[in-house]
Amino acid sequence: MIDLLVRAPRAVVDGAERPATVAVTGGRIVGVLALDADTDATETVVLAGDEVLLPGLVDTHVHVNEPGRTEWEGFATATRAAAAGGVTTIVDMPLNCLPPTVDVDALEAKRGVAQGQCHVDVGFWGGAVPGNVGQLRGLHEAGVLGFKCFLVDSGVPEFPPLDDEALAAALAEVAGLDSVLVVHAEDADVIASAAPVAGPAYRDFVRSRPPDAEDRAVERLLGHAGRAGARAHVLHLSSASAVPLIDTARRQGVRVTAETCPHYLALAAEDVPDGGTQFKCCPPVRDAANRELLWAALAGGAIDLVVTDHSPCTPDLKRHHDFGADWGGIASLQLGLPVVWTAARGRGHGLADVVRWMSTRPASLAGLSRKGSIAPGFDADLVVVAPDATFTVDPAALHHRHGITPYAGLELAGVVRRTWLRGRRVTGDDPHGALLRREAPR
């Protein structure tokens, strides 16, 4: 007997939108059938004409911060927000929590506090920091999906950046593990030589972290990754001028991918008010011309995927309205889908494009072979969205621990109406997310 049938006049399947009936048994998709397939099930759901069935989104760039900084965010609030935004899998970053996930004991501590709290499935990145290259194999064997490092000050002292020698050593180890190193690529020397920022002027903050800081760091990373034969992934790319470097390296055989984020695709420096530190993130939101070049790179495939870089903090860390003093990070886990969809459809993109950028390719980056598509054998992670329905962002309606957001008051398209995790409805009251481990090679 089929457990669940979802009859969808519109569904994104095999990279295109078409009618489909999705059959689910034991938490897995067992068939993608014709809309009028003569099949019985314990439960049948028929979507309305204004709804589309998508695979659950996969967000591989989320700072949950628990344990240690749970007052910033925690597994219960982050995963509830994720489900409300159509995200059914997140991968947690190894920093801003205490201790950072730089050894197996810290990983197990994080798993211990996450257990039983999660409304969606959660995987973990390990951390690569100076002096811990000997810990990477143990973390890999314990199930992390890859490793994260910084090439510039991370903002927290317990997660320092890698210099060139340590970066080369980490990439060599990652290559031997057949894993991936995901990299915050900004050049510390370029930033140190730029004018320091203090005060409310956003233009001064952007000047303090110029595009050249990203471009030089990306160039260094590509050189080291090519020599090591390692997989490297460029995180939260904001500088469009780095795209040709990535494109050229890829054509030369370097195993590199890149992501950008909703805020870089939807916001522009010209629109950031002075003192508006809810817009502060690193690297920064740049001008509208740069934004359109990022869209072109995403459409052309030079940028592979879109994830949120959900980086929350307590309200007091944004209270100064000073771009030198306030925390840099944008919390947007619940809003990533409607922010990207609103911007994408205005540029002629469809929901199939959004699924590729925000579900299929992030799942591939993290090696999650049963996530990111509506197909037999995949987990029945499903989302119902009304793409033409709109809503106004109300910070009080967000499930993040804190409602600080640059999107407050904006009207967005794309209302998430229902979410299933492995065939089971996510209500926000009954956490049943799993803690994911690296899949063994087949």
Distance between CA atoms of residues 309 and 133, nearest Å:
25
Collapsing DSSP to helix, strand or coil, 57 comes out as strand
Distance between CA atoms of residues 289 and 307, nearest Å:
21
pLDDT of amino acid 95: 98
Residue where the block lists tokens 């040709």: 244
Instruction: For residue 62, give both structure tokens.
Output: 């989320």
Residues of the domain holding 117? 56-367+395-407
289 exposure class (CB count in 10 Å sphere: 0-12, 13-18, 19+): exposed
Cα–Cα nearest to 83, from 56, 52, 46, 114? 56
pLDDT of amino acid 1: 86
Domain assignment present for residue 241? The answer is yes
Q: Is the N-terminal amide bond of 94 cis, ω within 30° of 0?
A: no
Domain assignment present for residue 262? The answer is yes
Ramachandran angles phi, psi of 154, nearest 5°: -80, -15
Spatial neighbors of 208 by CB under 8 A, at least 6 apart, are 191, 194, 195, 196, 197
Cα–Cα nearest to 366, from 305, 425, 308? 305
157 exposure class (CB count in 10 Å sphere: 0-12, 13-18, 19+): exposed
pLDDT of amino acid 442: 60
pLDDT of amino acid 362: 98
Distance between CA atoms of residues 126 and 140, nearest Å:
8
Distance between CA atoms of residues 304 and 96, nearest Å:
26
pLDDT of amino acid 441: 72
Domain assignment present for residue 216? The answer is yes
CATH number assigned to the domain comprising residue 136: 3.20.20.140
Domain assignment present for residue 38? The answer is no
**Which helix or strand (DSSP H or E) is residue 338 part of?**
helix 336-345
Half-sphere exposure of 7 (CA within 13 A, CB side): 14
Distance between CA atoms of residues 213 and 352, nearest Å:
33
Residues forming a β-bridge with 198: none
Residues forming a β-bridge with 72: none
Contact 272, 202 (CB under 8 A): yes
Write out the chain's pLDDT in tens, 442 residues: 899 999 999 999 999 999 999 999 999 999 999 999 999 999 999 999 999 999 999 999 999 999 999 999 999 999 999 999 999 999 999 999 999 999 999 999 999 999 999 999 999 999 999 999 999 999 999 999 999 999 999 999 999 999 999 999 999 999 999 999 999 999 999 999 999 899 999 999 999 999 999 999 999 999 999 999 999 999 999 999 999 999 999 999 999 999 999 999 999 999 999 999 999 999 999 999 999 999 999 999 999 999 999 999 999 999 999 999 999 999 999 999 999 999 999 999 999 999 999 999 999 999 999 999 999 999 999 999 999 999 999 999 999 999 999 999 999 999 999 999 999 999 999 999 999 999 977 6
Domain assignment present for residue 223? The answer is yes
Distances (CA, A) of 348 to 55, 146, 352, 355, 425: 21, 34, 12, 15, 32
Domain assignment present for residue 149? The answer is yes
Domain assignment present for residue 28? The answer is no
Domain assignment present for residue 1? The answer is no
Residue where the block lists tokens 């689910």: 24
If one counts every other C-beta atom within 10 angstroms of the C-beta of residue 141, the result is 12
Q: CA 395 from chain center: how many Å?
A: 20
Instruction: For residue 309, give both structure tokens.
Output: 């870089």
pLDDT of amino acid 269: 98
Number of domains forming the structure of the chain = 1
Distance between CA atoms of residues 256 and 437, nearest Å:
23
